[in-house]
Amino acid sequence: MKPCILITGGSSGIGKNIALELSKEYSLIFISRDISKIQKVVATLHSPNEHFIFECDLLDFDKLTETMREISEKFKIQAFIHSAGVSYVSYAKNFDFNEMIDCAKINLYSAMLIVKFLLKKNLKPYLKDIIFISSTFSKKGEIANSFYASTKGGLDAYMKSLSLELAPNIKVNSILPGGIFETGMTKNLFDEEQKQQILKKYPLGEGKTQDIAQGVKFILDCRWISGQQIIIDGGYSV
């Protein structure tokens, strides 16, 4: 069997393209809340029969614990990629506590719970990489995105300490994408005129989900990189 990569958020956008990029070399284990959607993605991958789906909503921590138990009995996971995420666009004065908790559970706490499982005695020896899909908003302020940014900032702070805890055998890194306009999260946010205005701030022009997937592949292939927030944003943050 090919080496196994556990991935969240594989049903759509950036995660879907990461899956496509990695499906030739790896067997992918998907945690997804929408079985029919993820089945359609798997059908488009290299060697569809070598990938496996586990149904779980990341908001349901009891189910996630049960799912991780099942996965850990069946697979030796070599890498974990957390691409699942939701945005939370709100001015600070309008924050809704329940919505904030849901956003933090998906973007941050579910990743921590999954990692906790992967560090169990019987699984840890197989684990080589942890990669979080964070955001440039983790480093750069953005009006009406402060809560989303804080979940990504939390993810990056967790990543850095974790990289020290888990060295030298496990690399832990984040990728901070700039705006990718073709995903479920972003495709209805802006009209064409607004999009072209925003793209003026991107020296390398428009980024695609493949650009982020290539970053993931780069980290997996690179032996000597850990604890890093790798910005892939076409030069936007410069």
Site residues for ligand NAP per CB under 6 A: 8-9, 11-15, 33-34, 37, 57-59, 83-86, 106, 133, 135, 177, 179-180, 183-186
**DSSP class of 180:** B
One-letter amino acid for residue 21 of the chain: E
CB of 198 to ligand NAP, least distance (A): 10
CB of 121 to ligand NAP, least distance (A): 27
65 or 126: whose CB is closer to ligand NAP? Answer: 65
50 or 182: whose CB is closer to ligand NAP? Answer: 182
46 or 140: whose CB is closer to ligand NAP? Answer: 140
User: How many beta carbons lie within 10 A of that of residue 60, not counting itself?
Assistant: 14
One-letter amino acid for residue 114 of the chain: I
CB of 138 to ligand NAP, least distance (A): 9
Which are the contacts of 19, defined by CB distance < 8 A and separation ≥ 6?
7, 10, 28, 30, 41, 45, 51
85 or 153: whose CB is closer to ligand NAP? Answer: 85
Q: What is the bridge-based pairing of β-strands 229-232 and 27-32? A: unpaired
CB of 7 to ligand NAP, least distance (A): 9
Cis peptide leading into residue 48 (ω within 30°): no
Distance between CA 159 and CA 116 in Å, rounded?
13
12 or 163: whose CB is closer to ligand NAP? Answer: 12
Please check whether residue 207 is in contact with residue 231, taking contact to mean a CB–CB distance below 8 angstroms. Answer: no
